[in-house]
Structure 1
Amino acid sequence: MASIVERPKKSGDSTFQVKWREGGGRTAPGQSEKFGDLESAETFKELVDAHGQHWPPGWVRGAGFVEPETHPNDVPFIDWATRYVDRLTGIDERTHEDYLRELRIHLSLIQHTELSGRVQPATIGNLTQDDVQDWVRAEERGEQDPEDPDTWLRRPADPKSIANRHGLLFCIVQAAVESDPPLRTTNCCKKTKLPRLDDHIVEEMTFLERDEYQRIMSEITDPDAQDLTGWLFGTGMRWGEATALQTQDFNLNATPPTVSVQRAWKKAKKGAPCGPFFLGPPKTKRARRVLALSSAQAQMVRRRVAGQPPEAFVFRTATGKSWRHANYYNRKWLPAVQRAVEKGLSKRPRIHDLRHSHVALLIAAKIPLPAIQIRLGHESIQTTVDRYGHLVRSLDGEIVAAVEVALGAPARPELRVVVGA
């Protein structure tokens, strides 16, 4: 509850200060507003209490209620953002649903702060660079329960998630700049300072050495699960790509044998008639790719596709069905990792870490990053460099040798003897 403190003046008059803590938390920042009479102070106190110990919307400190800024043809930000997402083409229903969830949970937190300090609902026209930066900080910090500091009302977002949401925000604002008529003249997201990604990316990946991978493989007793695990480790393919492979995707008579990545499993919209998953295009255009196979991999595939029709899934469960991530993870992968840990394995890898481990092996074999980019299906070489560039320590010897050659002392010129000098 807000309180009123009387401040006597030397003249005999008094001012009345309304004091409260923002949001009502015991450790929240203190706020105050001054009035010349008790009645005005009591009225304002009631407003603060009615708004949950926050400044009343539209109130400017020291000035009272002020008419909001107006922008011709302006639209509430969340309304414009929703309209932008609903009009996107070339995305599946699951992606559309994910974007709307980001708007509802995260981008809806964006608000506009005027130069006077008054906070206003964000519109597509009043949004500023400072508003975007304030939102990034709020995402990074999260929000704790003022009554229980150990409880999060909204957990801090990781740098990658913030970058992804900022990318969506950038596109939403840019659409307003390019609309007819334009709703903005500039994109306020262009100079946003985002949290660093590098530490986060390195931290979340686990790289398995060959012997560590073998320790986990030895704990997987299901032959079908063994084949799939070996394929993920040996090709670096994404889970959704590997489990969507069909007999028709292989050219086992080529030299070397190859596999073509043409489709991947996608999450469907809730309640979709196709069920929770459906087959769609790979993650990006570059994810459509052809991978060369080793002779051992080709031999395993021949065994699995023998007598199968072209549309048959290559990696199937013992009952002949396609694998589902939760089924494989809970019944095959997680128990195997737990047993390996009990026997001394020091890491707890995820399924996706088989992809990361595949890259580590290629880098250790001095395979160039551009070739790795193509094999993984990364849209940009920058993605490959950002995620795996720190592993290129195996080339240190070659780099040092090249530098020594380049900086080596020049050959000493031969001495010339001039007769009769």
Structure 2
Amino acid sequence: MATIRERPRKDGGITYTVLWRDGGTRTGKQESEIFPDTLDKAEEKAALFKGLVDMHDQQWPPGWVRGKGFVQEQTQSDRGKDMPFLVWATRRIDKLTGIEERTRADYHRDLLNHVAGVLVHTDVDGKVTEATVSNVTQDDITDWVRAQEDGLVSPEDPEQWSRQPAAPKSIANRHGMLYGIFQAAVEATPPLRAGNPCSKTKLPRADAGTDEEMVFLEHDEWQRLRAELALINGGDGIDIGDVLVATGLRWGELAALQVKDLNLAGSTPTLSVHRAWKRQKDNSLKLGPPKTKKSRRTLALSASTVEILRRNIVAKGPDDFVFTTAWGNPWRHSNYYNRRWLVAVRNAQAKGFQKSPRLHDLRHTHVSWLIAKNIPLPAIQARLGHESITTTVDRYGHLVRALDGEIVAAIQAAMAADDGPGLRLVERLA
């Protein structure tokens, strides 16, 4: 198998060199490919290339140009030919447009860690072969999903995992990536395959497990956590918590709020969401557009929320952030979560508090309070910035069951109306 050797350079950097012998024999020619750390994610790219070499029996991956990667376009004679799936998938990810570089790096990581060596083709006679663009079937995708669910126990230590079982949401995300890659093969000119093997996959139910289950807080439960926040560092975390639960904003949206986004005058004060903090592939943060187009939205504010916002923008200019630390810097999620939120939750639990809410659960709590007040789901969708009403219904539709009494009462009142057609029909039948 190929190996990766880390070699320090005179300038203090590191070069990752993938080494192997041609054909995997001891007498085969020594081959190598170099990935200096001046490249983005050099270590990950070296690991991906090593996987490609191993998948191709210690040969250069087809289409790879030494020192350049997959830079050669297919020639006319190559078009329509089959190729290893990893080669095609790597090319398609590199060519994707309209995505953030962090997302591209995540796709390459998932391809290396969860597809390479896991997605294979099984012939009708049971023989397992390398997955190619055209030979992967619906059964192969189903087998891949099951392998994701089951994980892989380490052969050296039965109590350790070589590959951890994946959560339903993670499987769905990776399946979506595979769907897009295979669809590109279907739509290629000429097509590389007739249909998409991912089109009819039955995925694990997202609600089948308990990981990251939504937590909804009652009003008195929020007050208990709020009281604990008040005891931490002079209560400087209370205002952020209050605004999160009062607006349903995502953390990245709230932390990116600037004074110019607020309109606190007039009969209907509002705040507008124009940007959010985005994590980059090097793990840094940068301001960018919100999560989706509909995430750009304007929210009406309650009087108590207006009061909170007013005191946080005193002496600040239009471009200043609304919520800042004592040093005037915008809050970071890890800072607030670890030093304020998590401390408050643990202190409350030590006093008998039964729930373990994440910071994002304040968004879910906001929705549960709106539903309890009979606010319709389409209005909630607009307030949360969901791209589709389906998202809102899937996540929060079960909470509407709490309104069954009001629904039944409304139907009963309508059927009992003196001038209702339903009543007259009953009378005629009687």
Aligned partners of 2:195 and 2:388: how far apart in 1? Answer: 27
Q: Is residue 346 from structure 1 mapped to residue 358 from structure 2 by the alignment?
A: no
Aligned partners of 1:107 and 1:366: how far apart in 2? Answer: 45
Assess, with a 3 A threshold, how the Cα gap between structure 1 residues 114 and 343 changes in structure 2: closer, same or farther: same
Unaligned runs of 5+ in 2: 1-56, 58-78, 417-421
Query: Shift in Å at residue 147 of structure 1?
Result: 4.4
Aligned partners of 1:404 and 1:228: how far apart in 2? Answer: 43
Assess, with a 3 A threshold, how the Cα gap between structure 1 residues 72 and 285 changes in structure 2: closer, same or farther: closer
Assess, with a 3 A threshold, how the Cα gap between structure 1 residues 376 and 202 changes in structure 2: closer, same or farther: farther
Query: Shift in Å at residue 95 of structure 1?
Result: 1.0
Partner residue in 2 for 1:215:
224
Q: Deviations over 1:45-77 (max 9, x none)?
A: xxxxxxxxxxxx9xxxxxxxxxxxxx9611211
Partner residue in 2 for 1:155:
164
Unaligned runs of 5+ in 1: 1-56, 58-70, 415-421
Query: Shift in Å at residue 404 of structure 1?
Result: 3.8
Judge conservation of contact 2:93–2:108 (CA < 8 Å) in 1: yes
Q: Deviations over 1:188-229 (max 9, x none)?
A: 111111111234479611111111111111111344311111
Partner residue in 2 for 1:269:
281
Assess, with a 3 A threshold, how the Cα gap between structure 1 residues 123 and 219 changes in structure 2: closer, same or farther: same
Question: Which one of 264, 280, 286 corresponds to residue 294 of structure 2?
Answer: 286
What's the secondary structure of 1:116's corresponding residue? coil
TM value normalised by structure 2: 0.75
Q: Is residue 242 from structure 1 mapped to residue 254 from structure 2 by the alignment?
A: yes
Query: Shift in Å at residue 304 of structure 1?
Result: 1.4
Aligned partners of 1:144 and 1:254: how far apart in 2? Answer: 62
Q: Deviations over 1:127-172 (max 9, x none)?
A: 1111111000110111112443332221111111111111111110
Assess, with a 3 A threshold, how the Cα gap between structure 1 residues 199 and 124 changes in structure 2: closer, same or farther: same
Aligned partners of 2:384 and 2:210: how far apart in 1? Answer: 17
Partner residue in 2 for 1:77:
85
More displaced stretch, 245-254 vs 202-211: 202-211
Judge conservation of contact 1:224–1:315 (CA < 8 Å) in 2: no
Count of residue correspondences = 341
Identity of aligned residues (%): 57
TM value normalised by structure 1: 0.77
What's the secondary structure of 1:198's corresponding residue? coil
What are the within-5 Å matches in structure 2 for residues 50-199 of structure 1?
73-108=81-116, 109-199=118-208
RMSD: 2.1
What's the secondary structure of 1:91's corresponding residue? coil
Judge conservation of contact 1:263–1:281 (CA < 8 Å) in 2: yes
Question: Which one of 372, 391, 406 corresponds to residue 398 of structure 1?
Answer: 406
Query: Shift in Å at residue 340 of structure 1?
Result: 0.8
Q: Deviations over 1:229-275 (max 9, x none)?
A: 111111111111100000111111243111110111111121xxxx7
Partner residue in 2 for 1:26:
none
More displaced stretch, 356-365 vs 214-223: 214-223
Judge conservation of contact 2:80–2:191 (CA < 8 Å) in 1: no
Query: Shift in Å at residue 319 of structure 1?
Result: 1.4
Aligned partners of 2:315 and 2:327: how far apart in 1? Answer: 16
Assess, with a 3 A threshold, how the Cα gap between structure 1 residues 201 and 164 changes in structure 2: closer, same or farther: farther
Query: Shift in Å at residue 101 of structure 1?
Result: 1.0
Aligned partners of 1:382 and 1:201: how far apart in 2? Answer: 21
More displaced stretch, 146-155 vs 316-325: 146-155
Judge conservation of contact 1:201–1:387 (CA < 8 Å) in 2: no
